[in-house]
Amino acid sequence: MPLKQIKKKVSIDLNIRALQINNLQKEMDVLILWKQRTKAIDTKVQRLGPDKPMAIFDEKFQMKTAIDWDNIRGKFAKKQSILAVFTKDRSRLLGEADFDLGKYANDATAQKDRLMLRNCDKDPEAFIEIYIKAKTLEESTTPQRNRNSLAQSGRSAHYATSLSLAAIEEKNSEFDQREEYENQ
């Protein structure tokens, strides 16, 4: 009997910190588009040029998505996402960076990462710097029996209360980490 595929809802907090492209011949206004299947979010426009190869975006985004959960390995499966760098009017793609949401969902800590741009003809070393945190929102998308039952045993009632407190503590620790990161 095949295992039923389980999906878990995950909240992704993404801070697009900076973009670096060297070897530009002239100034240009650029933006970064975060694409996940049918969803897309873009940054404000920033300027790059020969004298300014790095643009600081420091923009925070949040996206909720469902990611396949592998019960056998006890971790999230791969789920690709893309950051695409465009000129201001979106007429020209300057490069793209792929990243795996499953990788970040498997680690409960906030992470700083440098994503190399592919297909960037101006600079093969071009990159986007991100800060990312993923948090599981619920156990699974499969329905739970007796979810609102008044006839809960003492143990399951205690377990539910413990889960609520853990979520509150997690939220506070996430805020503390973000505040600590922003003060660096």
- At 36 the pLDDT is 87
Specify the amino acid at residue 107.
D
Mean pLDDT of 161-172: 36
Residue 20: closest CA among 119, 118, 125, 97: 125
91-139 residue pLDDT tens: 999 999 999 999 999 998 999 999 999 999 999 999 999 999 999 996 5
Q: What is the DSSP string of 63-112?
A: EEEEEEEETTTTEEPP-EEEEEEEETTS--EEEEEEEEHHHHHT--S-EE
| CATH entry, 6-141, from 1.20.140.10, 3.40.50.300, 2.60.40.150, 3.40.605.10 | 2.60.40.150
The count of other CB atoms within 10 Å of the CB of residue 159 is: 11
Q: Where are the domains of the chain?
A: 6-141, 151-184
Q: Is the pTM of this model over 0.75?
A: no
Residue 4: closest CA among 106, 143, 121: 143
Which DSSP state fits 2? P
